A and B are shown apart, each in its own frame.
Chain A
Amino acid sequence: MLLYALKRLVYVLPVAFGVSIVCFLLVHLAPGDPLTAIMPIDATAAQQAEMRAAYGFDKPLPVQYGIWLWKVLHGDLGASIASGRPVVSEVGRAVGNSLILASLATLIGFGFGTFFGFVAGYFRGSLLDRLASLVSILGVSVPHYWLGMVMVIVFSALLGWLPSTGAGPGGSTAWKFDWEHLRYIILPAITMSAIPMGIIARTVRALVADILSQDFVQALRAKGMGEWDVFKHVVRNAAPTALAVMGLQLGYLLGGSILIETVFAWPGTGFLLNTAIFQRDLPLLQGTILVLALFFVGLNLIVDVLQTALDPRIQRG
């Protein structure tokens, strides 16, 4: 098992290398010059060239990549052009905030998703099944930025129960686990949980229905096991796939929550990406994308290893 985990870890290295090249090139493929955004309009050509040299943009791309990679490997993602602060600390704080939001959303989504999925799978074809399926289809198909706005309108504007934007009182971006801060995370987390909830519910429904129709369930009953024991077997059989889906959803939420983070002004990676794109803040953009991509790679690794640990049929090759 440990050997397998180490092996998988080694496989991650070439993937990470590829990811770094793509991250670097993508930003350079995008149209527009990062310097024009921060230079005064009347800057002379000489001033522009000087600035370009200062940021190293005058060197050939492979050399730029080499320098960038070397710095990245030493934990230096450069400084944000817009704010002048080191990218590492900006991304670090944003990742922390996103991680909290995405984890909470995934937990909510996973909890409700498995619940609805199990109910639907166990009572297939019944009214309960149709209700649960309706909820899960709504969760997947309702645009989540729209859902976010509706939540803000209802719970913030009309009822005034919860704050609409930000991550803490007074625009604070430092997360703390107290009620004052928790109030801010409720709406975005629920909004964000809709999609994983729907996807997990549908996956679990199909899984449960499939497992219940298998011979071994009848064999369990034939040896005198009660419904609760059968349920435990079903859970154990469904867990590997359900966990894999949950892991991937967490990955998507970490990077793909630009819309929700923007709607709720949540200071996470999505919000940061949005800002970086609009300000043409190349180092910040590169750094954020790289960190997110590596996160995804790491998450896949964890899910793979977990799945292998849970399902003996998967080869530990």
Chain B
Amino acid sequence: MNSTLPPIVEAKDLTVDFAAGRGMIRAVCGVDLSLKPGETLALLGESGSGKSVTLRALMRLHPKSAKIGGGIRVDGEDVLALSPSALRAYRGKTVSMIFQDPGLAFDPVYRIGDQIAETVMRHEGVSRAEGRRRGLELFERVRIPSPERRLDNFPHEMSGGMRQRAMIALALACRPKVLLADEPTTALDATVQIQVLLLLRELQREFGLAIVFVTHDIGVAVEIADRIAVMYAGRIVEGGSVRDVIGNPAHPYTRGLLASRAHGTLGKDERLKAIPGSPPDLAAPPPGCAFGPRCESFIDRCAADIPGNLVIGEGHAARCFRAGGANEMAPQLS
């Protein structure tokens, strides 16, 4: 990775609070992100860990009742300070998003081609015909067969994989610099998943995109990402290059995630190793480290303080008191 380039996405101490009942729930508490052009970061975590919330905060897609704190700079712009009209110009142009379920992310009663043309018209002020021409170009680029005819399709007339290709075409319609992907392969068949991942990687190289890729699937994260940030209860608990995080996990949660995957075939009496307990209630988080109650390396200090970000190696850090020094206690994973 070209380390001389300035980051295109930078979030500092990002927090997101949602109004819930009487109080506020902090879904994201102090996330730092930095992403260079052409780089892919995977936000890895289970449901409710705050990964999608973080992603949507980069585009300020949350309802007005949600409060975003900290700082977000994308391509030199202070995202949190953008006026409504500047925000609209930023969305879809500088940063665009692909959604988890392309069957729900397209308007069901408009033709796909018109939905792409609409975006190009909105951002570049071109004619509808010009917008559709761009759509055709992109459909060819994402290898949708008989693209001309497919532009006239309604969303329900396409298969899931093709819809996701169309969604990618839509996201790339205005040549964005940053692509936010919210579990874009989760709703797809396994064989289609890998095709979409390969396509995304190819397009990233071609367009020099920076991608933030949210997923709960470690395999997908390894396949697509340069760096991985593991999220738990609204914090990034471990971040680093794919090789460091997967090969030398420093946080017990990361180790638990890796151990809970099936490797090859399971024997008849073997069971998948699961992390005991369940994620904390964000309305009443446990004191100290949020993972503490489920952690096998728990020490008294974990319930007293929130662990800081401990640097383990170059670009590799974890929020755990026992990271680094206590490493030898934990079972090493290949």
Contact = CB atoms under 8 A, between A and B. Distances in A.
Interface of A: 214-216, 218-226, 229, 233, 236-237, 240, 310-313
Contacts of B156: 312-313
Contacts of B99: 215, 218-219, 222
A216 B104 CA distance: 6
A228 to B, nearest CB: 11
Interface in B21-36: none
A224 B89 contact: yes
A220 to B, nearest CB: 7
B170 A223 contact: yes
Contacts, number: 70
A216 B100 CA distance: 11
Given A222-B96, A223-B97, A225-B122, 12 more contacts: A219-B99, A221-B61, A222-B92, A223-B122, A224-B92, A224-B119, A237-B108, A237-B109, A240-B109, A311-B109, A313-B108, A313-B109
Interface in B162-198: 170-171
Contacts of A226: 88
Contacts of B101: 215
14 contacts: A218-B99, A219-B105, A221-B61, A222-B91, A222-B96, A223-B91, A223-B170, A223-B171, A224-B91, A224-B119, A225-B88, A225-B92, A233-B110, A311-B109
B93 interface: yes
The 10 closest A-B pairs by CB, nearest first: A224-B92, A223-B92, A215-B104, A224-B91, A219-B105, A312-B154, A222-B97, A223-B119, A224-B88, A216-B107
Contact of B122 (A215, A219, A224): A224
Which of A223, A236, A310, A311 is packed against the most chain B CB atoms within 10 Å? A223
B105 to A, nearest CB: 4
Nearest to B103: A215
A311 to B, nearest CB: 6
Contacts of B110: 233, 236
A73 to B, nearest CB: 41
Contacts of A221: 61, 91
Contacts of B244: none
Given A222-B59, A225-B122, A313-B154, A216 B108 contact: yes
B139 interface: no
Tell me if B's interface is mostly helix, strand, loop or mixed. mixed
Contacts of A225: 88, 92, 118-119, 122
Interface of B: 59, 61, 88-93, 96-97, 99, 101, 104-110, 118-119, 122-123, 154, 156, 170-171
A311 B155 CA distance: 12
Contacts of B119: 223-225
Nearest to A216: B107
Contacts of A229: 118, 122
Contacts of A313: 108-109, 154, 156
A289 to B, nearest CB: 38
Contacts of A240: 109
Contacts of B170: 223
B96 A223 contact: yes
A127 B101 CA distance: 34
